[in-house]
Amino acid sequence: MDQTTGLRLPTYADVEAAARRLDGIAHRTPVMTSRTADARTGARLFFKMESLQRTGAFKFRGAYNAIAALDADARARGVVAYSSGNHAQAIACAGTLLGAPTVIVMPTDAPAIKVAATRGYGAEVVLYDRFGEDREAIGRRLSAERGLALIPPFDHPDVIAGQGTATKELIEEVGPLDRIYACLGGGGLTSGACLAAEALSPGCAVWGVEPEAGDDIRRSLEAGRIVTIPVPQTIADGAQTTAAGAHTFPLLRAKAAGVTTVPDAALVETMRFFAERMKQVVEPTGCLGAAAAFAAGDLAGKRVGVIVSGGNVDLARFAALVSE
């Protein structure tokens, strides 16, 4: 329980419960290594490839866990979510698996591949203008009008707990770590990573990584309160959030080692690294953690986990970026 807001915050016990729900459903994604990356940083890097998760991103974990935690009547009525793409696809897929109708509020400028995939998983898509409309207000309205359970992309205890299972698996596979880098949009993945690391690898420093243009959580931690910024202009579309959540902010403030940022140019360079050296297609947001590790400069001799969060990127867009 957060003493300031009175909200129930998830714990590691919730991460363990999520792992049980996800067992045999979510992919236990591979952990990859690269001698080139190790030589570049002087560290031993372990890449948790959530780009190879169901629906192409870690978001499936939290989405499935949140819908599975609903009672049967709520699942039958259905759920509504808002997302630029990865949470959208995850909710749509999880809803199909669990028999829950889904409605997804997506921005008109979301990558076409993500909109198509969301519809392909069976969801109804409601489009909005991210620069002129409030997706949360639209989600709340649809929830009230249709009796749907609202499952936001990060500000939800069961979503955070589900995301924490990625770090749980990583540490269980490779052992204790000195540092973990996770992409940071609204904070669900990094908050979950903090819960798992604290329980399984005490002393591990968890760092959230934002795009340089969208450093709302870094500003929030510095200010000691949630700071809201305009929609950031960045190629990391999964991190174009404007503020931390009421659940994620207190967790990050209490448990994260800190927040760092990287420019879009570094994301493009890291996309190219994954493609050339590791033969992996990773979306810009999914490169945030690795880009930060490559730029850190203080990792010599350390064991470092990197959550590679997603691989959903339009191929024409991917080719244009990596060929620049």
pLDDT for residue 109: 85
- What's the confidence (pLDDT) of residue 131? 83
**pLDDT at site 5:** 67
Question: Is the pLDDT assigned to residue 111 strictly greater than 80?
Answer: no
- Collect all residues with Cβ–Cβ distance below 8 Å to 259 and sequence separation of at least 6: 184, 207, 208, 209, 210, 215, 217, 218, 221, 252
Work out the percent of the chain whose per-residue pLDDT is above 90. 87
Q: Is 71 exposed, middle or buried (0-12, 13-18, 19+ CB in 10 A)?
A: exposed
For residue 199, is pLDDT > 80?
yes
Alpha-carbon distance of 68 to 70, in angstroms, equals 5
Distance of alpha carbon 286 from its chain centroid, rounded? Answer: 9
Confidence of residue 248 (pLDDT cuts 50, 70, 90): very high
pLDDT surpassing 90 at residue 114: no
The Cα 14–Cα 153 span in angstroms is: 17
Picking from 120, 118, 121, 114, the residue whose alpha carbon sits closest to that of residue 104 is 118
Q: Are 310 and 283 in contact (CB under 8 A)?
A: yes
Band of the pLDDT at 3, cuts 50, 70, 90? low
3-state class (DSSP) for residue 187: coil
Checking if the pLDDT of 282 tops 70, the result is yes
Q: Residue 231 carries which DSSP code?
A: P
Q: Are strands 303-308 and 205-211 parallel, antiparallel or unpaired?
A: unpaired
Backbone angles phi, psi at 201, to 5 degrees: -145, 70
pLDDT at residue 86 tops 80:
yes
User: Which residue in 234, 220, 206, 213 sits closest to 293, CA to CA?
Assistant: 206
Name the phi and psi angles at 89, rounded to 5: -65, -40
Domains in the chain, start-ordered, CATH in brackets?
A: 12-57+156-322 (3.40.50.1100), 60-150 (3.40.50.1100)
Q: What is the tens place of the pLDDT at every residue in 134-161? A: 889 999 999 999 999 999 999 999 999 9
The confidence band for 324, taking pLDDT boundaries of 50, 70 and 90, is confident
Give pTM, 2 decimals: 0.94
Please give the structure tokens belonging to residue 84.
């630029």
Query: Is the pLDDT confidence value at 17 over 80?
Result: yes
For the annotated catalytic residues, the residue numbers are 59, 84, 210, 214, 216, 309
Angle (deg, nearest 10), helices 59-68 and 12-22: 90
Q: What is the pLDDT of residue 231?
A: 87
Radius of gyration from C-alpha coordinates of the chain: 18
Cα 198 from Cα 173, distance rounded (Å): 16
Order of all β-strands in the sheet with 149-150: 124-128, 102-107, 79-82, 149-150
Task: Supply the mean pLDDT for the chain.
Answer: 95
pLDDT at 6 over 80: no
Q: What is the DSSP letter of 69?
A: T
> Residue 33's pLDDT is what?
98
Alpha-carbon distance of 159 to 25, in angstroms, equals 16
Whole-angstrom CA distances from 233 to 8, 207, 214, 296 are: 33, 22, 8, 24
User: With bands split at pLDDT 50, 70 and 90, how would you rate the model's confidence at 83?
Assistant: confident
89 near 56, Cβ under 8 Å?
yes
Q: Residues 185, 83: contact at Cβ < 8 Å?
A: no
Looking from the CA of 104 toward its CB, the CA atoms found within 13 Å total 33
Question: Are the CB atoms for 321 and 271 separated by under 8 Å?
Answer: yes
User: Does position 85 have pLDDT exceeding 70, yes or no?
Assistant: yes
